[in-house]
Amino acid sequence: MILAAHPHSVWLTSARAARVFPPLASDLQIEVAIIGGGFTGLAAAYHLTRSGVSCAVLEAHDIGWGASGRNGGMAVLRYKTPWATLAHRHGENAARRLHQLLLDAVDTLESTVEELRIDCSFSRPGHITAANSRSALAMLDADMHWLAAMGDRTPRMLGPEEAAALAGTRCYMGGYLDPRAGGLHPLNYARGLADGLAGRGVRVFSGTAATAIREDARSVNVATEGGTVRAQQLLICSNAYTELFPLGTDLHRRVVPVSTSVITTAPLPDALLRALLPQGHLVSDTRHLLNYFRIAPGNRLLFGGRGSLTGRESPEVYHGLERRLFETFPALEGVAVDHRWSGKVAVTLDDFPHIGRLSPRIAYALGYGGRGVALTNLLGKMLATLARAMDVDAGPMSSGPFAPIPLHALRIPAMKAVAGYYRLLDALRI
C-alpha cells in the first residue's frame, strides 16, 4: 500500500521526528484491535493499556495523518450548539452532563500529556468565542448566564474594547472567554502518544489499512494486506476518513466528511504578534462558516476556515482564507503566507460525536465536527470501557439517534446549498 504523505502544515514542519512504526507483516492475535491512529484510536489504546488490556493500533497511513495531526490544536470548552439551546433541546440534566463531559475531556487530555510526558506545548491560554453579530453576542451572554445558574462562573463576557485588545482586531462586537481551554501542537501530541504507547508495549502499525471485517463465534477478524488481526473486540476510530475503506459497515454514511483549510503567515516580528494576541488566546468566531486563529510555532499566526466543498483542494479556497485573514488583521496585509493545508472533519446531523456499538464485539466513536481535540480523549477513554464489556454514559453522544444519513450520496450538492445559505446569513450578520 502507498502511504499518503502528511500535508505541508506548520505542524509537520515544526514537529519532532516521527518514530517509525512498520506495517503489520503477519497474522496477529490480540485482545483489542483498533482501526485509526488518530487521537481517538491512540487514546483508546492508552486507556486500554492502563487497564492491562493488550491492543494493537492499525493506521492506514502515518500516525496522526488524519485530522489529528493537522488541526488547529484548540481544545475548546463549547459544543457547536449553545448551552441554552442544548438545555432546551435535551433537558437541563443532559445539558449539565454534556458540560461536565467537556470539562472531563480537557482534563483527560491534560493528564494524558502529563502522565506520558508528551512534549506538545500543551497549555491553557483560554479560548475566546468572538461575536460577529448582536444576536451572537446575546447567545453568548445567555450561555454565560446558563452556566452561572448551574454553578460554573468561570467563563466571562468581553466588551468590544477588551475583545479588540485580546484578539487583535476590531471585527467583533464582543466575546466570551473561557480561560480553561487548552492549546497544543497536534502532530507532536499524536506522535508523543504513539511513542508512549509503544513504550508500554502497545503494538502500533502504520501503513496498515484494515480492508475487511469478519466476525465469527469466537472473535472479530480484521483483514490487512500484511496479515489478519484476530481480536476479542474491535474499535473503529476512523472519523472523517471512514470512507477510505468502508469495511462493510454503514458508519461512513452516518457522517458527512467536510473539508476545512488552514494557512499560516510567515514568521512575524515579536512586537507585531504580541500586538495581535498579547496573551496568546485561541480565538474562533460565531459565523456559520467560522474562522479561527491562534499563534503557531515560529511566531506565526495560524488562520483557519471553510475548505473546498468537493473535498478537492483549490487555490480559490486559500485565496478566500487569505482575504479573510487580511480583513480581520489589516496590519498583516502584504505579509507572506507560508503554509496552506486542508483536512476533513466528520459532521453529524445533530452536531455531536457519537459513541456506541455495531455488535457485541465492535464499537465506534466518530463525528466530532471541528470539536475533537478535547472530546477524542474522552470518547477514546470510553471506547476502552466499552471494549471491557461495560457501558458508558456520554449523554446524547451515546444515547442519541445515529443512523445513516438519508440521501448521503447527494451530500455535495446539499452542502453547496447549505454553504450558500450560511454565506447569506453571515453577510447579513444573522
Ligand X SMILES: Cc1cc2nc3c(=O)[nH]c(=O)nc-3n(C[C@H](O)[C@H](O)[C@H](O)COP(=O)(O)OP(=O)(O)OC[C@H]3O[C@@H](n4cnc5c(N)ncnc54)[C@H](O)[C@@H]3O)c2cc1C
Which positions lie near ligand X, rule CB under 6 A?
35-41, 58-61, 65-68, 70-74, 76, 209-210, 237-241, 244-245, 247, 260, 262, 304, 343-345, 366, 368, 370-374, 376
State the Cα–Cα distance between residues 6 and 20, nearest whole angstrom: 14
Cell numbers for 310, please give them.
Answer: 468537493
Phi and psi at 229, nearest 5°, equal -100, 125
- Select 59 or 195, whichever has its Cβ closest to ligand X: 59
- Select 108 or 260, whichever has its Cβ closest to ligand X: 260
The residue count of the chain comes to 430
Cell numbers for 306, please give them.
Answer: 471553510
State the Cα–Cα distance between residues 179 and 185, nearest whole angstrom: 18
State the Cα–Cα distance between residues 195 and 197, nearest whole angstrom: 5
- Which residues, 6 or more positions from 208, have their beta carbon under 8 angstroms from its beta carbon? 1, 23, 24, 58, 59, 60, 224, 225, 226
Residue whose C-beta lies closest to ligand X: 372
Phi and psi at 356, nearest 5°, equal 180, -170
Rounded to a whole number of angstroms, the minimum distance from the CB of residue 344 to ligand X is 6
- Select 251 or 335, whichever has its Cβ closest to ligand X: 251
- Say what the alpha-carbon torsion angle 361, 65, 124, 96 is, to the nearest 10 degrees: -30
Are 310 and 412 in contact, with CB atoms under 8 Å apart?
Answer: yes
Phi and psi at 285, nearest 5°, equal -100, -175
Rounded to a whole number of angstroms, the minimum distance from the CB of residue 361 to ligand X is 17
Rounded to a whole number of angstroms, the minimum distance from the CB of residue 92 to ligand X is 25
- Select 276 or 355, whichever has its Cβ closest to ligand X: 355
State the Cα–Cα distance between residues 331 and 401, nearest whole angstrom: 47
Residue 153 buriedness (CB in 10 A; 0-12 / 13-18 / 19+): exposed
Rounded to a whole number of angstroms, the minimum distance from the CB of residue 215 to ligand X is 16
Rounded to a whole number of angstroms, the minimum distance from the CB of residue 132 to ligand X is 18
- Select 88 or 319, whichever has its Cβ closest to ligand X: 319
- Select 8 or 145, whichever has its Cβ closest to ligand X: 8
Rounded to a whole number of angstroms, the minimum distance from the CB of residue 143 to ligand X is 18
Residue type for 55, please?
C
- Select 12 or 275, whichever has its Cβ closest to ligand X: 12
Rounded to a whole number of angstroms, the minimum distance from the CB of residue 225 to ligand X is 11
Rounded to a whole number of angstroms, the minimum distance from the CB of residue 268 to ligand X is 20
- Select 56 or 345, whichever has its Cβ closest to ligand X: 345
Phi and psi at 233, nearest 5°, equal -140, 150
- Select 90 or 252, whichever has its Cβ closest to ligand X: 252
Rounded to a whole number of angstroms, the minimum distance from the CB of residue 15 to ligand X is 15
Rounded to a whole number of angstroms, the minimum distance from the CB of residue 131 to ligand X is 19
Q: What is the DSSP string of 90-154?
A: H-HHHHHHHHHHHHHHHHHHHHHHHHTT--S--B---EEEE-SSHHHHHHHHHHHHHHHHTT---
- Select 247 or 363, whichever has its Cβ closest to ligand X: 247
Give the β-pairing of 127-130 and 175-178.
antiparallel
Are 6 and 69 in contact, with CB atoms under 8 Å apart?
Answer: yes
Residue 160: CA atoms inside 13 Å, Cβ hemisphere, count? 7
